[in-house]
């Protein structure tokens, strides 16, 4: 595959009209493909939809977009696929993007998923939303034959009162080399102006910041085997009609005790301040995942009486919905940006005898 940067520079040299009608590189079927790896709630579906719209309505390309996800709730894994083609090339497939030219990871915890980057083409582009340094990310076995870009999209979203997806759209636009940034911002403004006109200004600011603050951390190294050479990772059901146990018995029952939902948080978590707590229990009433840990203690004023006191939060089961923070009348629970290692060091285990 030709070097993407060189191909893009060649197209730019032909003038702005060429940039609007041609892709810098395509695969054997004539497509340029992007995959957005995210979790529900970060806006990857909307980002993919908007990027596809820009290609068709603003740049004269052919494009398609769709997403794949499980249960429709915040924190569930989601993949959003965008497929572009030059005007003369029709798109007659709706298959998932398995060998993308670009992968944008909306949450760096997704790098822990085994085989998550499988299929990314050699000389391709990897964008990661993270506050970590590039050296810290090397533990995730990043591809060495791709362009790797980093962006702290969450910090931008917090500062601009926006969402991660608008900053990531700016990053994708810049890294692609062919998407028109003015067209992306214009389409974004048109979309929000219809239903949320007040949101236009800070979403466009976040988009431009994502475009400007994206930084290239690594370029392809010659001679390295690419992820595109590996067989694409496909989720398969545990049982099929040929392998299901006789009688439909469930022989591997699930257990919520063994579930770790760390990767479902969107960059924030509740922090418990015991000195402010009156142990009223309102937070426990609204917590959907029972991640608040309580303990019976003897009441000091009455030796024969017990009282229930909040001990802390088991972050293994906390998805960061912040309902506990909203319900707390004393400020004992606050919403804080999650820092690396905080959940592990401040976790209060709900099941201390069981290792999840």
Cα separation, 233 vs 230, in Å, equals 9
**Domain boundaries, given as residue ranges, for the chain:** 4-229, 256-346
Q: Assess whether pLDDT exceeds 80 at residue 165.
A: yes
Q: Assess whether pLDDT exceeds 90 at residue 34.
A: yes
Alpha carbon distances (Å) from 193 to 58, 95, 162, 184, 204: 17, 32, 15, 14, 11
Higher per-residue pLDDT: 84 or 68:
84
Classify residue 215 by its DSSP letter.
Answer: E
Average of pLDDT values for 312-320? 90
Residue bearing tokens 């500062």:
159
The domains spanning 4-229 and 256-346 adopt the same CATH topology: no
Per-residue pLDDT at 74: 66
Q: Is the pTM of this model over 0.95?
A: no
Burial class of residue 345 (count of CB atoms within 10 Å of its CB; 0-12, 13-18, 19+) = exposed
- Residues 206, 167 contacting (CB under 8 angstroms): yes
- Residues 134, 217 contacting (CB under 8 angstroms): yes
Q: Which of 160, 66, 164, 51 is nearest to 108 (CA)?
A: 164
Q: What digits encode the pLDDT tens for the residues 292-301? A: 999 988 877 7
Alpha carbon distances (Å) from 263 to 85, 113, 155, 203: 34, 10, 18, 25
Q: What digits encode the pLDDT tens for the residues 245-276? A: 777 676 666 666 666 676 778 788 999 999 99
Cα separation, 212 vs 206, in Å, equals 10
Q: Assess whether pLDDT exceeds 50 at residue 14.
A: no
Q: Assess whether pLDDT exceeds 60 at residue 176.
A: yes
Q: Which of 163, 170, 127, 107 is nearest to 34 (CA)?
A: 127
Average pLDDT, the chain: 85
Higher per-residue pLDDT: 221 or 56:
56
256-346, what's its fold? Answer: Alpha-Beta Plaits (3.30.70)
Per-residue pLDDT at 1: 40
Which helix (H) or strand (E) segment holds residue 310: the answer is strand 302-313
Q: Band of the pLDDT at 323, cuts 50, 70, 90?
A: very high
Classify residue 103 by its DSSP letter.
Answer: E
For 4-229, give the CATH class: alpha beta
Q: Band of the pLDDT at 197, cuts 50, 70, 90?
A: confident
Q: What digits encode the pLDDT tens for the residues 89-99? A: 999 998 999 99
């Amino acid at each position: 595959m030709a070097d993407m940067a060189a191909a893009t520079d060649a197209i730019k040299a032909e003038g702005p009209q060429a940039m609007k009608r041609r892709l810098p590189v395509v695969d054997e079927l004539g497509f340029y493909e992007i995959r957005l790896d995210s979790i529900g709630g970060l806006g990857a579906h909307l980002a993919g939809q908007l990027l596809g719209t820009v290609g068709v309505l603003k740049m004269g390309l052919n494009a398609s977009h769709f997403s794949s996800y499980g249960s429709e709730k915040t924190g569930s894994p989601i993949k959003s696929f965008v497929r572009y083609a030059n005007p003369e090339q029709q798109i007659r497939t709706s298959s998932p993007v398995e060998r993308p030219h670009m992968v944008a990871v909306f949450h760096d915890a997704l790098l822990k998923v085994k085989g998550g980057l499988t299929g990314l083409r050699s000389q391709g582009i990897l964008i990661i939303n993270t506050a970590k340094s590039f050296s810290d990310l090397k533990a995730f076995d990043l591809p060495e034959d791709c362009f790797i870009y980093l962006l702290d999209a969450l910090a931008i979203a917090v500062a601009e009162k926006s969402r991660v997806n608008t900053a990531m759209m700016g990053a994708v636009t810049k890294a692609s080399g062919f998407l028109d940034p003015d067209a992306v911002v214009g389409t974004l403004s048109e979309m929000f102006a219809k239903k949320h006109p007040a949101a236009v200004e800070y979403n466009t600011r976040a988009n431009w910041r994502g475009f400007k603050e994206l930084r290239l951390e690594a370029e392809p190294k010659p001679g390295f085997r690419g992820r595109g050479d590996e067989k694409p990772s496909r989720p398969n059901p545990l049982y099929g009609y040929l392998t299901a146990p006789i009688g439909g018995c469930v022989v591997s029952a699930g257990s919520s005790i063994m579930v770790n939902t760390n990767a479902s948080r969107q960059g924030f978590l509740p922090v418990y301040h015991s000195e402010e707590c009156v142990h009223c229990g309102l937070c426990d009433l609204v917590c959907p995942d029972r991640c608040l840990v309580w303990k019976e203690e003897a009441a000091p004023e009455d030796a024969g009486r017990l009282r229930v006191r909040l001990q802390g939060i088991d972050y293994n089961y906390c998805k960061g919905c912040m309902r506990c923070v909203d319900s707390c009348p004393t400020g004992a629970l606050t919403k804080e940006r999650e820092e690396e290692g905080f959940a592990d060091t401040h976790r209060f285990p709900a099941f201390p005898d069981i290792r999840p």
